[in-house]
Amino acid sequence: MAELPDQDECVELLSRMCLIRRFEEEAGRQYQRAKAGGFLHLAIGEEATIVGTTSVMRDDDYLIGTYRTHGHAIARGTPAKSVMAEIFGRVDGTSGGRGGSMHIFDAERRFMGGYGIVGGNLPLAAGLALASQYREEDTVTVCMFGDGASNTGNFGETMNLAALWDLPIVFLVENNLYGMGTSIDRHSAVTDLSKKAEGYGIGGERIDGMDVLAVRERVSANLEISREEGRPTLVEAFTYRYRGHSAADPEIYRDKEEVAEWQEKDPIEAFIRVCIEGGRLKDEDVEEIRAEADRTVLEAVEFADASPEPALETLYDGLYVVGETMGWYAVDERSPEPHRGEYGEDAPAIAKELAESGAEHPSDQERQDRPGVRG
């Protein structure tokens, strides 16, 4: 059993977990009220894995996650109101309202997103760690991803390079037993994910992701290995999401008993028990922590609601590639030279003009007439 930290640390850990839980519940409620567009993936049940990990990271370490990362940003210190405003698609959101729930990002706190492509954050994590190595900094990148992501080509490619180049990364698998509606024994040939990178030279260990203290202890040890020895490590944390994959999941792939069984091991309730038994917290402290989380989240909703939507004329700001891509587009039809709108200050204006002139698919003849189209 991991050692119980001092009272301040216990308050901090519980406060973060309660804030994330309350935030996620409210985000789900607001989604039902059509306050957010796109998808919404909640991490209720996974709080100990998230908070245990971030609580032992240094401020200058990097964290990168998936599309289920409202809590990761909050755990890293991003204000709840900025995360809520992003979910609402408002200008005061972490990505100016352009990313939404799946693309929370906070470079200042080194939370590097927020990605919708399953496994897409793995090679990016390698890039972050390579940057640390290149600059001779002793920062470590923590890359969190799901059990499902361990089946992607990116997983193998990233493990190989990370091991080959001795990159300081802790790969942290949030094994919640499902990739969408597919259980791990139906989606992964090797179900012990701590062993899945062994063939690439990266050993791993399994931990109880519902126990915040166990997560802290083992992630801390792995961070030190990656930092001191300059090499990748892998941790598989067993956790569980109580809600469906996304807000649009009817959950026909698991029964209610299974969910209830995991709820018995609730990471917040379990930690409260340990803190009370260990004399670190009293019932009143717990009540106050919950009330504070409630206040913060309700303020976050108010803030998000009052924040304006991005102005229409900013629609094309921040786009990297514009021009013909604003209408129909196929890679093999383009010539190698730069295209209209891909350079110069007039790019946003051209993009707007093209979009306004209609994005409908052109006729075959029009396609043939376009410059660079091979007959």
Whether omega before 119 lies within 30 degrees of 0, making that bond cis, reads no
Residue located via tokens 């090499």: 231
Alpha helices in 179-308 (DSSP H): 184-187, 212-229, 256-264, 267-277, 283-306
Cβ proximity to Mg ion, 86 vs 147, nearer residue: 147
Burial of 373 (0-12, 13-18, 19+ CB in 10 A): middle
Q: Which does 149 bind (CB under 5 to 8 A by kind): Mg ion, ligand TPP, none?
A: ligand TPP
Find the shortest distance in angstroms from Cβ 23 to ligand TPP.
Answer: 17
- The one-character DSSP state at 44 is T
Q: Which of 66, 176, 239, 296 binds Mg ion (CB under 5 A)?
A: 176
Q: How far is the CB of 68 from Mg ion (least distance, A)?
A: 9
Among the residue ranges 29-37, 177-185, 188-196, 217-225, the one whose residues contact Mg ion (CB under 5 A): 177-185
**68 touches which of ligand TPP, Mg ion, none (CB within 5 to 8 A by kind)?**
ligand TPP
Quick one: which of 100, 113, 119, 146 contacts Mg ion (CB under 5 A)? 146
The token pair that represents 58 in the structure block: 């240094």
Find out whether 209 and 48 touch, Cβ atoms under 8 Å: yes
Residue 122 or 301: which CB sits closer to ligand TPP? 122
Q: Measured at CB, which residue is nearest to Mg ion?
A: 146
Nearer to ligand TPP, 76 or 243 (CB): 243
Note the residues at the interface with ligand TPP (CB under 6 A): 66, 68, 116-118, 146-149, 174, 176, 178-180, 245
Whichever of 183 and 220 has its CB closer to ligand TPP, that residue is 183
Contact track, Mg ion, 287-326, x by CB under 5 A: ----------------------------------------
Helix 47-54 to helix 212-229 angle (10° resolution) is 40
One-letter amino acid for residue 151 of the chain = N
- Candidate segments 76-84, 144-152, 164-172, 268-276, binder of Mg ion by CB under 5 A: 144-152
46 interacts with, out of ligand TPP, Mg ion, none, CB within 5 to 8 A per kind: none
AA identity, residue 137: E
**Those residues with Cβ within 8 angstroms of residue 239's Cβ, 6 or more apart along the chain or in another chain:** 45, 46, 48, 49, 174, 175, 176, 209, 210
Other CB atoms closer than 10 Å to residue 137's CB: what's the count? 12
Angle between helices 7-32 and 47-54 (to 10 degrees): 130
Q: For residues 176 and 222, which CB has a smaller minimum distance to ligand TPP in the complex?
A: 176
Q: Is 94 in the site for Mg ion (CB under 5 A)?
A: no
From 169-177, 196-204, 338-346, 357-365, span contacting Mg ion (CB under 5 A): 169-177
Residue count at the site for Mg ion (CB under 5 A)? 5
Q: How far is the CB of 188 from ligand TPP (least distance, A)?
A: 9
| Binder of residue 310, out of Mg ion, ligand TPP, none (CB less than 5 to 8 A by kind) | none
Which helix H or strand E contains 174, and what residues bound it? Answer: strand 169-175
Which is nearer to Mg ion, 113 or 179 (by Cβ)? 179
Least gap, CB of 193 to Mg ion (angstroms):
10
Q: Report the C-alpha gap between 169 and 175 in whole angstroms.
A: 18
Tokens standing for residue 131: 């940057």
Distance CA 208, CA 124 (A): 27
CB 143 within 8 A of CB 172: yes
Residue nearest to ligand TPP as judged by C-beta position: 146
Which of ligand TPP, Mg ion, none has residue 225 at its interface (CB below 5 to 8 Å by kind)?
none
Question: How many helices (H) does the chain have, and how many strands (E)?
Answer: 13, 7
Contact residue for Mg ion among 47, 147, 211, 266 (CB under 5 A)? 147
Question: How far is it, in rounded angstroms, from Cα 147 to Cα 178?
Answer: 7
Nearer CB in complex with ligand TPP: 174/266: 174
**Beta strands per DSSP E along the chain:** 62-64, 141-146, 169-175, 178-179, 182-183, 204-208, 233-238
Looking at 29-37, 176-184, 216-224, 280-288, which segment touches Mg ion (CB under 5 A)?
176-184
**Residues at the contact surface with Mg ion, assessed by CB under 5 A:** 146-148, 176, 179
